[in-house]
Amino acid sequence: MTEGAAYSRRGTSQLRIAIVDDTGLRATILKEGLAEAGYIDIEVVAPHGGFVARLERMAPDIVLMDLGDPSRDTLEEMLTVSRALARPIAMFVDRSDDAMIGAAIDAGVSAYVVDGLRKERVKPILELAIRRFNAFNILRAERDDAVTALADRKTIDKAKTLLMQGRGLSEPDAHALLRSTAMNQSRRIVEVAEALITAYALIDPPKGTGR
């Protein structure tokens, strides 16, 4: 289970929510919407000074960013926060364009809301941010697993090739030897393959490296 998936199993009142905002009125709208939805652990953080470090210390479950009418510099700063925190983030802005939306998506913002700061919308937007964050984490984990599996396959194939060339084994016999060695040593087969490749490199280093 991914880190984000845990959010859906926690009670509403247990979620820690940070609101990044430097205008009292707009922060109040968000707080009222959250309070009416049953959220109680809420803290407003002004986007000044060392606020990123403060957010990291808070370790919020969800971050709501109220940017109003952001400049490009302000937006980029907030997107940097999004990349650093790796949490569900909903960003509220009064206006936007395709470039700003694209940048927000690339930075991992889970919900990008244009001209939608109303307290009755806070809960559904927050829930949407969590769902999107969880879905993205699942896709990322699946991608990482696929990349790792491909790399492991290449390592095992290389080790089998070395055994086939060095010991005259067939491909099935080379694979069986790797598998039985892994079982005997209580190791993963890819770990045995990596050790074999390293050993062969020490015994027969590439030309030009010296002995």
Query: Which range marks the domain in which residue 191 is found?
Result: 145-203
Domain final position from 94, 113, 141: 141
111-114 sheet: strands from edge to edge = 41-45, 16-20, 62-68, 89-93, 111-114
- pLDDT at residue number 137: 80
- Are residues 33 and 76 part of one domain? yes
- Are residues 21 and 107 part of one domain? yes
Q: What is the pTM of this model?
A: 0.63
- Are residues 183 and 130 part of one domain? no
- Are residues 112 and 30 part of one domain? yes
Angle (nearest 5°) at CA 11 between 7 and 15: 60
Q: pLDDT tens for residues 49-101?
A: 778 888 888 888 988 888 877 767 777 777 777 777 778 888 888 877 788 88
- Are residues 186 and 136 part of one domain? no
- Are residues 92 and 153 part of one domain? no
Tally of domains in the chain: 2
Q: pLDDT tens for residues 26-37?
A: 888 888 888 888
- Are residues 126 and 27 part of one domain? yes
Task: Using alpha carbons, select from 93, 50, 60 the residue that is nearest to residue 75.
Answer: 93
Domain final position from 141, 157, 173: 141
Cβ atoms within 10 Å of 11's Cβ, excluding its own: 7
Statement: residue 133 has pLDDT above 80: yes
- pLDDT at residue number 138: 87
- Side-chain half-sphere of 209: how many Cα atoms within 13 Å? 8
- Are residues 18 and 113 part of one domain? yes
